[in-house]
Each structure stands twice: as C-alpha cells, then as structure tokens.
A and B are shown apart, each in its own frame.
Chain A
C-alpha cells in the first residue's frame, strides 16, 4: 500500500497532482515552483493523467483559467510562487467568492523587491486575506500529505473554498527526502469524485457566475465566504484525523513539540521547525522547559486553539520569515498576540523576524532566540519586542 521513495518537495507535490489526476491544470513556470509544472507536463506528455493541460502565458491567466475550469465543473489545479502568486492576487478573492475548491501548491519565496528567488513567507502571508485556506508544510512528506488532504478540505460541502498548500522554496522544494507515497488507487479513492457544486456547462440549468454585486448584495456574499472559512476549521480537523486513521499520520491546526510541560514556546511555520525542534531538544537536555508550536494552518487562523495552548506559557517567541513592514512586527506575531488578548493569563510574546530572502537561519541564531526566550520566561522583562535576527 505504501511505497518509500526519495522525492524533493516539488516532486512530492507533482506526484500528488498526478495521483489526484485533475481534469484541468493551467500553469506557468516560476522559480522555485517550476519543477512542479515541468514534472506535471511530462505526466501529460506521457499520458499518465486525464488532465487537459493549459500552458498559459502568465500566472494571471493561470489563475483565470483555473477559476474558469473549476466553475465549469472540472477539478482544476495550478501551482506557483512569489511573483506568480502576486500576479494572481487580483483573482484569488474571485476564486473564493465563487466558492471554487481549487487546490494550488505554492512554493514560498520572497516577494520582490529587490528581486530574490529564495525562501521566506512574504508571498503567502500577503495573500492571507483572500479567502484561501493556507496550509504550510515542514517537509516533502507533509507537502504530499497536505496536497491530498487539501482536496478533501476544499471540496467539502461545508467549505467549498480554494486551498493553497505551501512548501519553502529550495529548502523543501529542492531538497531530496525519503517519503511515503500511496498507491494510485488509494489516492483515487481517497480524493473521490469531484463534486461540481458550480457547473457552467450544465445546459439544463444555465447560470450566471460572477455577477455585479452592488451595495445590496456584496456584503451578504462576503459574509457567506467568511462563514465558509469558519466552517473550514472543523473540516480541517476532521480530515486531519481521518488521514491519521487511514495512513498513520494525523494532522491538526498545528503541531505541538514537547509542549506538554513546557513553560515557554517557540512559534514558527514551515521548514524552520525542523532545526528549531533540534534546538528544543538541546535545551530540554539542559533542563529548560521549552516547547515548539509549528503552525500548519494559517488560514483559517486557529486563534482560539493556539491561545488555549500558549496561555499556559510564561513566554513565547514568534519566529517568522516575513515582515509586514507595518512598524509593528510580522503578521504572525500580530495574530498570535491578538489571539491571546482574551486569555486571563497572557504570556509575554516577542517577535523574531528571520531568514528574509533565503538568509540562512543558523543554529547560532536559534540559540540566541532560545536564550532570550529563557530570560524572558525568567524575568518577564521584554528587552526588545521586535527583533531582526541575522541581518547585518
């Protein structure tokens, strides 16, 4: 039932796409997500999928065609990164407003400018308000698992929202890892048939999609999308649990690493969690009661759930690869602090902005962060609320 293979993040995501076998893929190459498109094109060329592949002339057209295909009753996918995602921004909220369950791999890469091809989370974070579910992956295995779950989540009748599954550019996208891949039939059964909630090609029930809403309807439609995002929380958990039952790896909103008796915590997303976990181990050996919370689901934001874990901490350090340029720390910091506001016991929360544009986050950086966290937990004194770590 399970095959163990060596796959990069991009290969793992392309493999998931082959097994999902979407009706339409419309995509445009962009570093570091290009390989997903290349590998998938080869699947098409070799007749391994039923997919109608549309090699569009831009990401804007990639998302336009994907939206249209989904609206036409097809299971439709695309994939992108950074500037490509930015070129799609206009269309992302249209996909969610039309309630189209598109699944899209997104390889996190720093937004220009200056132009840079390496990893941070500025691209995906900037797309947080568009009604897309956002799921982060720590490694190739998670990328593969998340892709499959994303189909179930997005297409659930209570959700019907587009979903992006992210990996970190180069760090995951190009890093070869050992992963477990399921048999094609297993995936086929797992994702099931595409439920075409919207079907432009249904000639017997002709519809108008994407009509103009004025003051009297826009609010109601937005309210519906807001509710769908709320409902998605329950479904994400349900799907994550079911995935665990079926395949042995359970997923939730976040992963707690040595959090049970922790007095302080690091909160992060994506690949950085790997190195941070090993630093947690080191500090644990030294008797420091530190744990780690790896956020998997950034949208919908599981504020309540995060807060009920973090309220037990004396101190929290948010470590994030993005800066909102808002003069008040990164986006994750903002949201974590806001989530804790209603709790009676609130830990001190500090922010570390790291790794922008692929800057390496070294062991030394993490040690410094952990030391500072330890001090904060002990003294309760915030020396500096927001810090840039690793910048000259």
Chain B
C-alpha cells in the first residue's frame, strides 16, 4: 500500500491502482450485524443486489455469507429479505 510514501516514492499524477479500497475495512462502523439463517435462506439474492457495500458473498448463484470486513450494518439486507414469516437475515447487536 502506498500509504505514507514520500513525494519521491509516490506514483506521479494522482494515480491509483484500481480497487485498492478492498484493503480498507469498514466493518468497525457497525453496531448491528446481519446474520443469515442457512435453513430458511432461499437464495433470492436480493440482499446481494441491494447491498451498498458489496458485502454479500455469492458463489454460483448462492448466497454464501456476509463479508464483515465491509458490512457497515445498515440492515438493507434484512429489510429486503422476502422470507416470511421470519426473515432469513436478522440484524443482531454487535455487543
């Protein structure tokens, strides 16, 4: 990471490699975290498509978990989860 480089070492021209924010973690912003119920999840992927933080992990069309490095705990995933009567994603306190 280029952090704290001096002007002589820093790449010139306000240029950054793409995607370096992946190394920056925003997980500590959370006060609540989403927890998925493996048994009831129907893999509709609404949580994936509406996640602002690219924190819902999907593999081969299946929701496989939350990336807590990025998840800020907004709760959109829970809110859009269509599973009834109990949602397959619940927000639980970090404490």
Q: Which of A's residues lie within 8 Å of B, judged by CB?
A: 97-100, 160, 197-198, 205-211, 213, 216-217, 219-221, 223-224, 227-228
Q: Is the CB of A224 within 8 A of B7?
A: yes
- Shortest distance from the beta carbon of A194 to any chain B beta carbon, whole Å: 16
Q: Is B60 an interface residue (CB 8 A)?
A: no
Q: Is the CB of A99 within 8 A of B6?
A: no
Q: Is B17 an interface residue (CB 8 A)?
A: yes
- Shortest distance from the beta carbon of A11 to any chain B beta carbon, whole Å: 34
Give the interface residue-count category, chain B: 10 to 19
Most buried by B among A98, A197, A221: A221
Q: Is B86 an interface residue (CB 8 A)?
A: no
Q: Is the CB of B13 within 8 A of A160?
A: yes
- Shortest distance from the beta carbon of A217 to any chain B beta carbon, whole Å: 8
Q: Is the CB of A98 within 8 A of B18?
A: no
Within 8 A of A (CB), among B1-52: 3-7, 10, 12-20
Q: Report how far A228 CA is from B14 CA in the complex, Å.
A: 14
Main secondary structure on chain A at its contact with chain B? loop
| Chain B residues in 8 Å Cβ range of A216 | 3-4
**Do A211 and B16 contact each other (CB < 8 Å), given the known contacts A220-B7, A221-B7?**
yes
| Chain A residues in 8 Å Cβ range of B10 | 217, 220-221, 224
Q: Is the CB of A207 within 8 A of B12?
A: no
Q: Is the CB of B13 within 8 A of A198?
A: yes
Closest to A100 in B: B13
| Chain B residues in 8 Å Cβ range of A227 | 7
| Between-chain CB contacts (< 8 Å), 6 pairs | A100-B13, A207-B18, A216-B3, A219-B7, A223-B7, A224-B13
Contact partner of B16 (CB less than 8 A), chosen from A99, A160, A207, is: A207
Q: Report how far A211 CA is from B3 CA in the complex, Å.
A: 14
Q: Report how far A167 CA is from B71 CA in the complex, Å.
A: 57
| Chain A residues in 8 Å Cβ range of B15 | 98, 198, 207-209
**Do A213 and B14 contact each other (CB < 8 Å), given the known contacts A220-B5, A224-B7?**
yes
Q: Is the CB of A208 within 8 A of B18?
A: yes
| Chain B residues in 8 Å Cβ range of A99 | 12-13
**Do A206 and B14 contact each other (CB < 8 Å), given the known contacts A220-B5, A220-B6?**
no
| Chain A residues in 8 Å Cβ range of B13 | 97-100, 160, 197-198, 209, 224
Q: Is the CB of B14 within 8 A of A98?
A: yes
Q: Report how far A220 CA is from B12 CA in the complex, Å.
A: 10
